[in-house]
Amino acid sequence: MAPLAPRSGDAVFANVERVNAELFTLTYGAIVRQLLTDLEEVEEVNKQLDQMGYNIGIRLIDEFLAKSNVSRCVDFKETCDVIAKVGFKMFLGVTATVSNWDAEGTSCSIILEDNPLVDFVELPDTCQGLNYCNILSGVIRGALEMVSMKTEITWVRDMLHGDDAYELRLKLLKQVPEEYPYKDDE
Amino acid sequence: MIGVGAKPKQYSNVLDKPLSRGRQEVSLSAFAFLFSEMVQYNQTQVDNIAELERRLEAAGYAVGARVLELLCHRDKGNRRETRLLGILSFVHSTVWKVLFGKVADSLEKGTEHEDEYMISEKELLVNRFISIPKDMGSFNCGAFVAGIVKGVLDNAGFPAVVTAHFVPMEGQQRPRTTILIKFAEEVLRREARFS
């Protein structure tokens, strides 16, 4: 059987069940507020959001692979394109762009202009160090780890801090060779 | 690259932004993943079920307060309901439709107590992917939705105690969820004065 062609993010998004983005946005806001109350330190909140994103990422990758028919990417470049064009569309209904590649092709920026997490949000003075959308970087890190890529992801631009877009810097640290836990003849 | 001229407008204040029409959607899985993380995180912060439900309710309350404000601006021309039945049908129809994409399955008045009302849903969105382990007994993630309802009612001037319960249904594998609303005395007294 010929491999199924990968589906575009739009096609997948059109076919999955969807919910109102405001429910999602406000629920996320409630989570962030809970964390701020519980943990008090903005830095700790950033860490916890990243951890929650990571937990989501390692589960989300299964659904992503099952519904998108995307197969193994040939290189990190293709991986990032797939994240931006298919991944973001499929789950959040928005498209991101990839740019600013370095010469080795191991780091790039994913730029978001539309971000459903931040509607109705304004950072108070006491939270200036907060990376409000830190859950997103955790999701990407977790998902990529499940396909054997260790990455480091940092926020470069954030509209809540007055920038003109959201920019995530992705850096490929290591491609972990796949090891099967069993041998063929066992 | 974005040219200087095409730079998106910067708003210094969130209130200066035009109010979105609320048509945007995200995938149900994105919400389900997020919600499940919220439940799991809250589980690490508590040592009993009542406390866990209380925390989910508190999170929902924050959502409800904002939903009321948002919908009063967008859908009701800056007016809010002042009568009991008005606010109940606002929750059952408008709020439910915006948040969950449909009107709630039913809205009933309690038969035993004058101050009790129930909103029931065959399959509540937040319970869809959740199964409750036996040792957690009566725990219901609907506490989050109960919190949303409480947030809307409290902020509209109808203080109430709101709780979520599973109600087994004959011939159905899964129980339905009933949100029980018990209004404060003052609400009923005011209502009686009105009529």
**What ipTM was predicted for this assembly?**
0.91
- Please give the pLDDT value at position B136: 79
- Tell me if A10 is assigned to some domain: no
d(CA B194, CA B171) in angstroms, rounded, equals: 43
Tens of pLDDT, residue by residue over A133-176, are 999 999 999 999 999 999 999 999 999 988 999 999 999 999 88
Residue A1: exposure state from Cβ atoms within 10 A (0-12, 13-18, ≥19): exposed
The CA distance from A153 to the nearest CA of chain B, in Å, is: 20
Picking from A30, A99, A116, the nearest residue to B26 by CB comes out as: A116
What tokens does B135 get? 């040792």
Taking CA–CA distances from A58, the nearest residue in chain B reads B33
Q: How many domains does chain A have?
A: 1
- Tell me if A8 is assigned to some domain: no
- Tell me if A5 is assigned to some domain: no
Neighbours of B184 (CB within 10 A): 15
Which one, of B181, B178, B149, lies nearest residue B165 by Cα? B178
Cβ pair A132, A42 in contact under 8 A: no
Neighbours of B185 (CB within 10 A): 9
- Please give the pLDDT value at position B58: 96
- pLDDT (tens, 9 = 90+) of chain B, 195 residues, equals 444 444 444 556 777 777 777 778 999 999 999 999 999 999 999 999 999 999 999 999 999 999 999 999 888 777 888 999 999 999 999 999 999 999 999 999 998 899 999 999 998 888 888 777 777 777 888 999 999 999 999 999 999 999 999 998 888 888 899 999 999 999 999 999 988
Contact across the interface for B98 and A22, Cβ inside 8 Å? yes
Cα torsion A13, A18, A20, A23: sign: negative
Range of the domain at A96: 19-175
- What pTM was computed for the model? 0.90
Taking CA–CA distances from A135, the nearest residue in chain B reads B34
Picking from A19, A48, A59, the nearest residue to B26 by CB comes out as: A19
- Please give the pLDDT value at position A113: 86
> How many A×B Cβ pairs under 8 Å?
121
- Tell me if A34 is assigned to some domain: yes
- Please give the pLDDT value at position A2: 54
> CATH number, domain at A37?
3.30.1380.20
Taking CA–CA distances from A33, the nearest residue in chain B reads B59
- Tell me if A131 is assigned to some domain: yes
Q: What is the DSSP letter of B27?
A: E
- The SS3 assignment for A108 reads strand
Cβ pair B187, B123 in contact under 8 A: no
The CA distance from A6 to the nearest CA of chain B, in Å, is: 19
Contact across the interface for B13 and A52, Cβ inside 8 Å? no
- Tell me if A58 is assigned to some domain: yes
Q: Report CA-CA distances (Å) from A78 to A73, A118, A153.
A: 6, 28, 17
Interface test with A, best of B23, B24, B35, B102 (most A CBs within 10 A): B24
Interface test with A, best of B12, B17, B25 (most A CBs within 10 A): B25
Residues of chain A with pLDDT under 70: 1-4, 182-186
- Tell me if A109 is assigned to some domain: yes
d(CA A36, CA A49) in angstroms, rounded, equals: 11
- Please give the pLDDT value at position A92: 94
Interface test with B, best of A15, A34, A140 (most B CBs within 10 A): A34
- Tell me if A107 is assigned to some domain: yes
CB burial of B151-173 (b: ≥16 within 10 Å; e: otherwise) equals: bbbbbbebebebbbbbeeeeeee
Contact across the interface for B45 and A23, Cβ inside 8 Å? no
